[in-house]
Structure 1
């Protein structure tokens, strides 16, 4: 199912923007104090975190393709991808500036997510109710990937 692989393609476009901008953004000296302690990342750390998250998105896309979009894992990942657009917008509003991922959010993330859900619905694919355990697990993937990416640095300190 092409729609399922579209999730991976949209994610790649979006995360290429994040990879290109996250390291320099994260090291800006005028970020609010809590962020300056958590955020600074090297290009390697950003690439590792993005790559680890990409493995989960690729697995979700494969599950969606194998089930014709019926997989709960795929649908939850598609939902998370669409909803995370709000975090990009909120970050930029709070910080009053560009934040990584902001450009592709309205150009890729939101349009793809809306289109994909409409295609699933018009294609007669039943929309699975959200499984709370799956939602919690998927929500943990991004922060966990960032922690794993920073482990080498944390071990040195």
Structure 2
């Protein structure tokens, strides 16, 4: 498990990060990378195979959503993931610089953990695999709980409030939409 590796590798505590350790701060980027590698590997093929069936099962979903999902190729998706890597690296770096106290880092950590519930809800709704649903319970949720526990023990975790959950989900949604919009424009200009 990622948290065991981070603890065994000596990254559970460190200097220059307020004592919470690079595993807590840069671990966010590592856990995100593992999770998004699953998505990069599966989204294009999964969409190609499953969208026709899902379109029939869920007619209430707007047609433009299905067309958008069908039109996204692997290159566009990978470009969006690269954009999200920049966001997650910035959040991890902010967390590291502040010993985990950065509001941006904590909102990103909350959003990362909560977005796993969206993946699990999607898998439940389609009654099967959806991209991201394997690493959500195996990596995303355990890492988030572990990191929050380390932050709490270090006295760096802000008290949990409902608005923190809303901010976390909002950051995840805005960053996802923004990186996909930029990716679509970049790949489109690239001669798609």
Task: State the TM-score, normalizing by the size of structure 2.
Answer: 0.73
Q: 1:132 to 1:13 in 2, by over 3 A?
A: closer
Matches within 5 A, 1:6-155: 6-28=27-49, 29-32=52-55, 34=63, 35-40=65-70, 41-127=72-158, 130=164, 136-151=170-185, 152-153=187-188
Q: Offset of 1:31 from its aligned partner?
A: 2.5
Q: 5+ residue gaps in structure 2?
A: 1-20
Secondary structure in 2 matching 1:45: helix
CA distance in 2, matches of 1:36, 1:156: 23
Q: Deviations for 1:50-102, whole angstroms, at most 9, x for unmatched residues?
A: 11011000000000000000000000000000000111011111111210011
CA distance in 2, matches of 1:155, 1:45: 10
CA distance in 2, matches of 1:58, 1:20: 21
Contact 1:10–1:112 at 8 Å: present in 2 too? yes
Q: Give the number of aligned pairs.
A: 157
CA distance in 2, matches of 1:16, 1:83: 18
Contact 2:35–2:136 at 8 Å: present in 1 too? yes
Cα root mean square deviation, aligned: 2.5
CA distance in 1, matches of 2:75, 2:41: 11
- Please identify the structure whose Cα radius of gyration is greater: 2
Q: 5+ residue gaps in structure 1?
A: none
Q: Offset of 1:116 from its aligned partner?
A: 0.4
Q: 1:21 to 1:138 in 2, by over 3 A?
A: closer
Task: State the TM-score, normalizing by the size of structure 1.
Answer: 0.89
Contact 2:108–2:168 at 8 Å: present in 1 too? no
